[in-house]
Amino acid sequence: MSPLELLILLGVAILIIVFAAVPIVWRLTRHDRAVRVRMKAARAQGRHETLSLHPVVDEGLYKSVVVNASECVGHGICERVCPVSAITLVIGTETRGVEIPRLTEFFETNVPGLYVVGELGGMGLIRNAIWQATQAVRHAARQPRGASEGAVELLIAGAGPAGIAAVLTAKAEGLRHRIIDQEALGGSLLHYPRRKLVMTYPASLPGVGEFPFREIEKEPLLEYWNQLMLEHGVAVEEGVRFDRVERADGGFVAHTSRGPIRAARVVLALGRRGTPRKLGVPGEERANVLYRLIAAEQFDGQRVLVVGGGNSALEATLSLAERPNTVVTLCHRSANFPSARGVLVEELLRRERSGRLEVLREARVAAIEDGRVVLDVAGVRVERANDFVFAMIGGTPPYQLLKDSGVDLDTKFGTPLVQRAS
């Protein structure tokens, strides 16, 4: 082959490479621009940070970034499957601290025999709650047995996913136990709207095995749990509020709304919701002021005000807006919705534009009166005809309960969940 032919062949090869590379580079550039736009939008709306367990990506090891942190549910799979170990699970951020109890690897607090599992310990998701509760109770079962007269070997406070796993583990380990809840079996799931998808990852329960489903909505999951309790002979003492626990006679005395309960060891599976926050306005004591939505169809044709800007408030607003002849107004103290999932915010804005619901921003409830509510919207007095008010502004986490029980708390500012060996 002559030098000229070689030169021509080389030129053709270069042209082919260039033409092949141009669309690839263009697609990568377009994708990068789209990601940057999404990140800018998330930051502008305050959804770039989350208070829950979430990943931080070492960009020196990996080029991925967290685009919309508020969408993270904290399951931690990303850290486990990252091929270059570039992801670290952290609690809190540099600017937004999260207060959680100081726990051992078995979820025991600084008070020996007192355990904290589930959301209150800093990790969400049903699967995580089940795993933590199982580890805690198995650890408790390995300690010297025995309890003072009139005491049980294990008291479980909370009957949500963590509490259910704890009581089934206690049953399997042969521990004499009691389980209480200030409401009923199901814990925080009871506050979710109907047909909400609550589980999307497989899990298993002690003495039961793997769940017979991967994805499931609220109602069938609650039904499944109730059936399990019946089959295993477990009775949840409902309507019993847990106030605090203190050391006594080598064990504990738990102070509850129905009197003291003595136990050798205690597992707190209380969740983070705690006591619903109050609006603190005249008229809040009225019977038409509610703190959770169960069945939206019960409010067909009513004039409803939802107060709040988180996931629960937006889910309730959207569910009510689907009902016939129901007039729905959402009252939120901020201009944006940084603590709500992006998909909910987008749907809310879409329905607002279509006129199916009203959104009052930078607004607060001033008073609840007969047949109406009075609001302050950016300093202007506004009134709306009203039949029901849903105050969905979150709850007060039971941190004071932990402190009163002698539990040490730490405030995490982007602290790794697990410290890696250097």
Q: Are residues 244 and 368 in the same domain?
A: no
Q: Are residues 265 and 287 in the same domain?
A: no
Q: Which of 75-79, 295-299, 372-376, 417-421 has the lowest mean pLDDT?
A: 417-421
Are the beta carbons of 247 and 262 closer than 8 angstroms?
no
Q: Are residues 161 and 177 in the same domain?
A: yes
Name the residue with higher pLDDT: 134 or 56. 134
Is 108 among the domain residues?
yes
Tell me which amino acid residue 350 is.
R
Name the pTM for this structure: 0.69
Q: Are residues 246 and 114 in the same domain?
A: yes
Taking the C-alpha atoms of residue 318 and residue 304, their distance in angstroms, rounded to an integer, is 12
The pLDDT value recorded for residue 342 is 85
Residues of the chain above pLDDT 70, percent: 77
From start to end of 77-145, where are the E strands? Answer: 87-91, 98-101, 114-116
The pLDDT value recorded for residue 339 is 82
Q: Are residues 165 and 267 in the same domain?
A: yes
Nearest one of 286, 249, 250, 278 to 393, comparing CA atoms: 278
Is 92 among the domain residues?
no
Is 343 among the domain residues?
yes
Nearest one of 195, 200, 259 to 222, comparing CA atoms: 195
Residue 79, pLDDT > 80, answer no
pLDDT, tens digit (0-9, with 9 covering 90-100), for 9-56: 777 777 777 666 666 656 656 656 665 666 666 666 665 566 556 566
Q: Are residues 202 and 348 in the same domain?
A: no
Q: Are residues 255 and 303 in the same domain?
A: no
Mean pLDDT over 182-209 rounds to: 77
Q: Any long-range contacts for 219-224 (C-beta under 8 Å, 24+ apart)?
A: 219/194, 219/195, 221/189, 222/185, 222/186, 222/189, 222/190
Strands 259-268 and 209-210: unpaired
Greatest mean pLDDT among 145-149, 159-163, 327-331 lies in 327-331
The pLDDT value recorded for residue 150 is 82
Size of the chain in residues: 422
The residue whose two tokens read 């933590």 is 132
Task: Note down the domain range covering 323.
Answer: 278-396
CATH number at residue 300: 3.50.50.60
Is 83 among the domain residues?
no
Q: Are residues 156 and 242 in the same domain?
A: yes
Token output for 416? 């790794």
Domain count, the chain: 2
From start to end of 124-250, where are the E strands? Answer: 152-157, 177-181, 197-199, 204-205, 209-210, 216-217, 236-238, 242-248
Name the residue with higher pLDDT: 421 or 280. 280
Q: Are residues 160 and 257 in the same domain?
A: yes
Token output for 280? 């603190």
Q: Are residues 136 and 239 in the same domain?
A: yes
Strands 358-360 and 53-57: unpaired
The pLDDT value recorded for residue 421 is 39
Q: Which residues contact 36 (CB under 8 A, 6 or more apart)?
A: none
The pLDDT value recorded for residue 187 is 81
Q: Are residues 338 and 300 in the same domain?
A: yes
Taking each helix axis from N to C end, the angle separating 126-141 and 161-173, rounded to the nearest 10 degrees, works out to: 30
Is 153 among the domain residues?
yes
Q: Are residues 328 and 270 in the same domain?
A: no
Is 24 among the domain residues?
no
The pLDDT value recorded for residue 246 is 94
**Taking all residues of the chain, what is their mean pLDDT, rounded to a whole number?**
83
